[in-house]
A = this chain, B = another copy of it.
Amino acid sequence: MMTLYDFTGSGNGYKVRLVLAHLGQTYKLVQRDILKGETRTPDFLAKNPNGRIPALQLEDGTYLAESNAISWYLAGGTPMVPDDRLPRAQTLQWMFFEQYSHEPFIATVRFWKHFLPKLTPLQEMELPGRMEKGYAALAVMEQHLARHQFFVGNRYGLADIALYAYTHVADEGGFTLAAYPNVNAWMVRVAEQPGHISIDHKN
């Protein structure tokens, strides 16, 4: 059986848990508390030298890291990953957009405000710029979703899962999504998918 090393509040971990739920795949879940440094121990660094959850141990013992790479591994050959070359690349385009232009702003601000007891002076200084870039990412999504039901090929897939993970909890970072009606409508469509689970769903 596969083992997922994860932290319940993590949107990155949630992507993998959501893919596994859609696949109906059973797995062992091992919690590592990132607030207590449990992903920086020698034991965990032997699993993922980059010291981050999620990390998935496959049945042959191999460890795979990076939420979007794990999702791609698990969902390959299912309708969550398109078959054709261009929509496959477009799926990856949105997944890289998520990790570079969305997560460092929306997820990081949520982490600071929702999980940390207090921001450092540097975090306080960085906050306005991070919020601005988070809203810029939401604006890119809003523009795309004004013309599309889902991110790629008008069907639910990995690009939606990657972007839903932190968008739907952006309010926990103080983001207000009222000005993004198409993002809100898309979030409802995602949550209505068969097999959907919430970010705090117990395995």
Q: For residue A86, which residues in chain B have a CB less than 8 angstroms away from its CB?
A: 58, 62, 64, 73
* Per-position binary interface string of chain A over residues 77-106, scored 1 when its CB falls under 8 Å from any chain B CB and 0 otherwise: 000000001101110110111011101100
The interface residues of chain A, by DSSP majority, are classed as helix
Q: Please give the count of copies of this chain that the complex contains.
A: 2
Which of B65, B72, B100, B104 sits near A97, CB closer than 8 Å?
B65
Asked if A113 lies at the interface with its beta carbon under 8 angstroms from chain B, I say no
Instruction: Determine if B50 and A66 form an interchain contact, defined as CB atoms under 8 angstroms apart.
Output: no
Residues of B within 8 A of A72 (CB): 88-89, 92
Residue on B nearest A12 in the bound complex, by CB: B100
Q: Does A199 contact B (CB under 8 A)?
A: no
Instruction: Report A68 CB to chain B, min CB distance, Å.
Output: 5
Whether A125 is near chain B, meaning CB under 8 Å from some CB there, is yes
Q: How many Å from the CB of A188 to the closest CB on chain B?
A: 23
Chain A 122-134 against B: per-residue CB contact (8 Å), 1 yes, 0 no?
1001100100000
